[in-house]
């Protein structure tokens, strides 16, 4: 079986939409990193590496790391949702928001952009599980998720200013 480092952008998609596929990618990625060590690669070539049961242990670790990332995303989303609902209620009571159409596109863009940028920030503050090499797949995926959320949010905020 050929092991190679996985594409973190592709893994960012699968961490959300296909847990099983992500876990398989993380296992292969981890083994590829291990085999970059010359002594482990030599042991691999003669059949002394990896040790028995390595795949189950790797699967367990990949699943734990994936669950940590997804849990961090969900918790930060929930906190921001609560804060957003409170802000909306406050806006209604202050008379700044009402149910009349049309909806102000600039305000909506600013609101969604602020939500996304804030979500990304809370997610980032939760941090990723750090490994000793810093090369694990979940460590590569974490900043990509942050950047997608944050840059999307900032883009929407800036477009609301221009509009």
3-state secondary structure the chain: CCCCCCCHHHHHHHHHHCHHHHHHHHHHHHHHHHCCCHHHHHHHHCCCCCCCCHHHHHHHHHHHHHHHHHHHHHHHHHHHHHHHHHHHHHHHHCCCCCCCCCCCHHHHHHHHHHHHHHHHHHHHHHCCCCCCCCCCHHHHHHHHHHHHHHHHHHHHHHHHHHC
**What is the per-residue pLDDT for 28?**
95
Predicted confidence at residue 101, as pLDDT, reads 67
Single pTM value for the model: 0.88
The rounded average pLDDT for each run of 10 residues, N- to C-terminus, in the chain (163 residues) is 89 95 96 93 91 94 94 96 95 84 86 97 86 87 96 97 86
pLDDT of residue 1: 59
What is the pLDDT, as a whole number, of residue 100? 78
């Amino acid at each position: 079986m050929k092991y190679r480092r996985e594409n973190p952008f592709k893994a960012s998609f699968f961490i959300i939409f296909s847990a099983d596929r992500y876990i398989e990618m993380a296992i292969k990625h981890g083994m590829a990193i291990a085999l970059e060590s010359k002594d482990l690669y030599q042991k691999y070539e003669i059949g002394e590496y990896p040790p028995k049961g390595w795949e189950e242990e790797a699967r367990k670790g990949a699943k734990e790391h994936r669950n940590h990332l997804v849990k961090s995303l969900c918790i930060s989303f929930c906190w921001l949702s609560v804060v957003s609902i409170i802000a909306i209620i406050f806006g209604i009571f202050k008379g700044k928001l009402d149910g009349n159409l049309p909806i102000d596109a600039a305000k909506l863009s600013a609101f969604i952009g602020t939500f996304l940028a804030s979500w990304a920030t809370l997610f980032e503050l939760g941090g990723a599980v750090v490994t000793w090499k810093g090369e694990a797949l979940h460590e590569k995926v974490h900043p990509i998720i942050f950047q997608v959320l944050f840059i999307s949010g900032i883009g929407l905020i800036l477009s609301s200013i221009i509009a």
